[in-house]
């Protein structure tokens, strides 16, 4: 058991380190674009909406909480962000009445405004409820970013800005997604630091 544990432990972390290195070497420009868009959206008084399934639902609410609450800077102002995967009444009612595919699209229709921004998080890029959400978001005038993995699936060509973690392993893609989420929150914190002026953003 102990040997198996050691193998799993080292093998998992070795794969994580290789993927993190690849991400560091290739995704900087795309993450900069994402941060610029998110900061400009918030600075203009619009909001960030996030959605995903399973572990990516957890990532969506994790990132939203760090924007409304805080990431690192203790005294920056609150920032408008909302995860669409947290309201169990909305999730069950919409799934039951309209179908699970509509669970995020319907909330976007109810809650978003033109020029808000949607971050859709999917390791496969193939989840039908995320494809429907992105299509509805674009129709409603939102800018769309996909935090994706593998070949990006159908979402790759449907979002305005695809960010692809180059792996086909769901858990490892998720580990890098939340790392990119933390980097995003740190750049947003910096942009909204109380010592910075609005004109600097």
Ligand X SMILES: O=C(CO)[C@@H](O)[C@H](O)[C@H](O)[C@H](O)COP(=O)(O)O
Mark the binding-site residues for substrate, compressed into ranges. 53-55, 66, 96-97, 122-124, 127, 174
Q: What is the dihedral of CA 140, 59, 68, 107, to 10 degrees?
A: 30
Task: Please tell me the total number of residues recorded for the chain in this structure.
Answer: 201
From the list Zn ion, ligand X, none, pick the one residue 53 interacts with, judged by a Cβ distance below 5 to 8 Å according to partner type. ligand X
From 25-33, 54-62, 82-90, 156-164, span contacting ligand X (CB under 6 A) = 54-62
In 27-53, which ranges are continuous DSSP H helix? Answer: 28-43
Q: How many residues line the site for ligand X (CB under 6 A)? A: 13
Structure tokens at 120: 């859709």
Residues 94-123 that bind ligand X (CB under 6 A): 122-123
Does the footprint of Zn ion cover residue 55 (CB under 5 A)?
yes
Q: Counting contacts by CB under 6 A, is residue 54 touching ligand X?
A: yes
Residue with tokens 């976007």: 108
- Residue number, 100 or 138, with CB nearest to ligand X: 100
CA 9 to CA 17: how far, in whole Å?
12
Return residues touching Zn ion (CB under 5 A). Answer: 55
């Amino acid at each position: 058991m102990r040997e198996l544990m050691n193998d799993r432990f080292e093998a998992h972390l070795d794969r994580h380190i290789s993927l993190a290195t690849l991400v560091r070497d290739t995704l900087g420009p795309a993450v900069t674009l994402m941060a610029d868009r998110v900061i400009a959206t918030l600075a203009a008084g619009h909001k960030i909406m996030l959605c995903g399934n399973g572990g990516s639902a957890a990532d969506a609410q994790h990132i939203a909480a760090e924007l409304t609450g805080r990431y690192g800077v203790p005294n920056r102002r609150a920032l408008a962000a909302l995860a669409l995967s947290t309201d169990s009444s909305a999730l069950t009612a919409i799934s039951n009445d309209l179908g699970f595919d509509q669970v995020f699209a319907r909330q976007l229709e109810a809650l978003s405004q033109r020029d808000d921004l949607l971050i859709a998080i999917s390791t496969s890029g193939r989840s039908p409820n995320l494809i429907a959400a992105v299509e509805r978001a674009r129709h409603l005038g939102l800018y769309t970013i996909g935090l994706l993995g593998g070949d990006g699936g159908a979402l790759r060509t449907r979002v305005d800005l695809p960010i692809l973690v180059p792996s086909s392993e769901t858990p490892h893609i998720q580990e890098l997604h939340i790392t990119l989420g933390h980097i995003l929150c740190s750049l947003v914190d910096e942009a909204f630091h109380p010592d910075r002026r609005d004109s600097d953003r």
